[in-house]
Chains A and B, each alone.
Chain A
Amino acid sequence: MEFDQLVQEHYQGLYRFALSLAQREADAADLTQQTFLRWATRGFQLRDRSKAKTWLFTTLYREFLSGHRRAVRFPHVELSDAEPELPPVQARTTEEMDGQSAMDALSQLDETYRAPLMLFYLQQHSYQEIATILDVPIGTVMSRLSRGKAQLRQKLSSAQPDQEALVSAKVIPFEPARTSRHG
């Protein structure tokens, strides 16, 4: 059955996305169920079934937003205005990370960054699909991913006192001025 297959394929990803947004297991389960209920009642309106995945994640995100009655929309940041903040990656920080630690770290991020990052780490969506789901321009998605990762590293690093020195680093670890762009 098509619906059963759809549920099997996407309920886990939707739940994890919902958990990152709502930060409560019960609310995440409700959001996931509500999303599939929407599909059951309105999914027939979607003519292109290949877009079902994006539709489900978009619907879940809107359910979450409407549930929280957001008054202020997230500001858009254009690509040209964005300034990357890329501290060095500390692989040691993440090597031992489990699912709970990952969610704990993500939950500490600003909501603006949490949603695109979670969608990115679920690996099911391209940056273009993330832009569609969150209803923001592509440049905004890229910017939020970049800044979100910077925040995430900061949170993870600050959890380890011996790496405090690295946290303060906000410069990128290569020197553009000394390196020819074209080799």
Chain B
Amino acid sequence: MDDAELQLRLSACRPNGQDNDDPLLREAMETLPHRPDLMNWFANEQSFDRCMCKAVAEVKVPENLCAEILAASKMSASVPRWQRLPWLAAAAALALLGLVYSIYEPKTQDTTLAQFESEIVDIFDGMKNRGFGLEHVSGELTNVSAWLGNQGAPKPYIIQPGTKSARPFGCRVVTWRGQKVTMVCFGRGDQEAHLFVVLRESLKDLPENLPPQKVQHVDGYPVAAWSCRKCVYVLLGDSPETKLEDFLKADSNLE
């Protein structure tokens, strides 16, 4: 082992003894008693590394990060066993494709806002029961919006970024009557709400700027809706207990 290799090995040695049993590093360390200069260098190296490790361990982690990860994971329930078998999944996908082609898609233009809310609640309830995954995870609305744009889904223009109390943690696209509907998930404290965005032209007789309607309950879920320019927004509490009004307060970004 030449000096260059010796030093490279010692450089890879963590400073708190974690690698003492590694044969490659132990071999290098065993030469140290015969090399006082090298031993001195190694001691300094380890001292420097210890300082860096201590400093790195002090890097602050956002307080709510863990809670947000766990909240997002609730939206990503375990994958059903049949989906773990690729051939079965492929066969199921083909069968589903055929089924989709054979099914008549009802026209959406005749749908009222109340019908849309009701159907979205049904879709969400079904998703919750069987588990679903967020397709994109992000804490920034600009990232969420950019991703949705790439998917060809309606983008939530009305929401202003920079909120402190209601933060997005992910989004996905759901299909409603053959149309893409955006779903953006928000967290506020220990509560969650989901914003569904659909093109206004998909619904019947909706004004361009409908102010947020009073929170009502649809099949138990708190729901509020409004429209702005080309889009209609339906905000849905994650559970019947969700205080949806909190997401519509002035200090949230949903108003």
CA distance A15 to B59 in the complex (A): 10
- B89 interfacial by beta-carbon distance below 8 Å: no
Q: Are A183 and B33 in contact (CB under 8 A)?
A: yes
What chain A residues lie within 8 Å of B58 (beta carbons)? 98-99, 102
User: Which candidate, A5-13, A68-76, A162-170, is the interface stretch facing chain B?
Assistant: A5-13
B69 touches A36 (CB 8 A): yes
The answer to the question of B57 belonging to the interface, with a C-beta cut-off of 8 Å to chain A, is: yes
Given contacts A29-B65, A36-B69, A84-B3, list 12 more A-B pairs with CB under 8 A.
A7-B66, A33-B170, A37-B72, A79-B8, A89-B45, A94-B52, A141-B12, A142-B8, A146-B8, A172-B41, A181-B31, A183-B35
**Which A residues fall within an 8 A CB radius of B?**
3-4, 7-8, 11-12, 15-16, 19, 25-26, 29-30, 32-34, 36-37, 40-41, 44-45, 79-80, 82-84, 86, 88-89, 91, 94-95, 97-103, 118, 120-123, 126-127, 139, 141-143, 145-146, 149, 152-153, 172-176, 179-183
Chain A's closest residue to B15 (CB) is A123
Complex Cα spacing A128 to B169, Å = 34
Interface size on B, residues (CB 8 A): 59
CA distance A153 to B48 in the complex (A): 9
In the assembly, what is the distance between CA of A94 and CA of B45, in Å?
Answer: 12
CA distance A103 to B58 in the complex (A): 10
Question: A41's contact among B5, B34, B76, by CB below 8 Å, is which?
Answer: B76
**Which of the 9-residue segments B137-145, B174-182, B237-245 touches chain A?**
B137-145
Contact A173 B76 (CB under 8 A): no
Complex Cα distance, B65 from A19, in Å, reads: 13
Min CB gap A92→B, angstroms: 10
Binds A, one of B16-24, B101-109, B119-127, B222-230: B16-24
Q: Is the interface of B mostly helix, strand, loop or mixed?
A: helix
Closest to B7 in A: A84
State the Cβ distance, B78 to closest chain A Cβ, in Å.
7
Contact call A16/B56, Cβ cutoff below 8 A: yes
With an 8 A cutoff between CB atoms, is B212 at the interface?
A: no
Smallest Cβ distance from B17 to chain A, in angstroms? 10
Question: What chain B residues lie within 8 Å of A179 (beta carbons)?
Answer: 35-38
Residue numbers in A under 8 Å from B60 (CB-CB): 99
Chain A residues in 8 Å Cβ range of B72: 33, 36-37
- Are B76 and A82 within 8 A (Cβ)? no
A104 to chain B, nearest CB (A): 10
With contacts A36-B69, A89-B48 taken as known, whether A30 is within 8 angstroms of B8 at the C-beta atoms is no
A-B contact pairs, 9 of them (CB 8 A): A4-B70, A89-B45, A118-B56, A126-B18, A146-B12, A174-B35, A179-B36, A181-B35, A183-B35
B84 contacts A by Cβ under 8 Å: yes
With A4-B70, A40-B76 in contact, do A98 and B55 touch (Cβ < 8 Å)? yes
Interface set, chain B 210-225, CB cutoff 8 A to A: none
B178 vs chain A, min Cβ distance (A): 25
0/1 interface trace, chain B 60-91, chain A, CB 8 Å (1 if under): 11100110111011001011000010000000
Say yes or no: is B44 at the interface (Cβ < 8 Å to chain A).
yes
Q: Which 3 A-B pairs have the closest CB atoms?
A: A174-B37, A183-B34, A99-B58
Q: Are B52 and A97 in contact (CB under 8 A)?
A: yes
A182 to B38, CA, bound (A): 12
CB–CB B56/A102 < 8 A? yes
Contact yes or no, A97 B51, CB < 8 A: yes
The 8 Å CB contact of B55, one of A41, A79, A97, A142, is A97
Question: In the complex, which of the residues A16, A37, A149 contacts B48, with contact meaning CB atoms closer than 8 Å?
Answer: A149
Q: Which B-chain residue is minimally distant from A176 (CB atoms)?
A: B3
CA distance A4 to B73 in the complex (A): 9
For A45, list chain B residues within 8 Å (CB).
Answer: 84
Q: How far, in angstroms, from A101 to B55 measured CA to CA in the complex?
A: 8
What B residues does A94 contact at CB under 8 A? 48, 51-52, 55
Docked-complex contact B40 and A33, CB < 8 angstroms: no
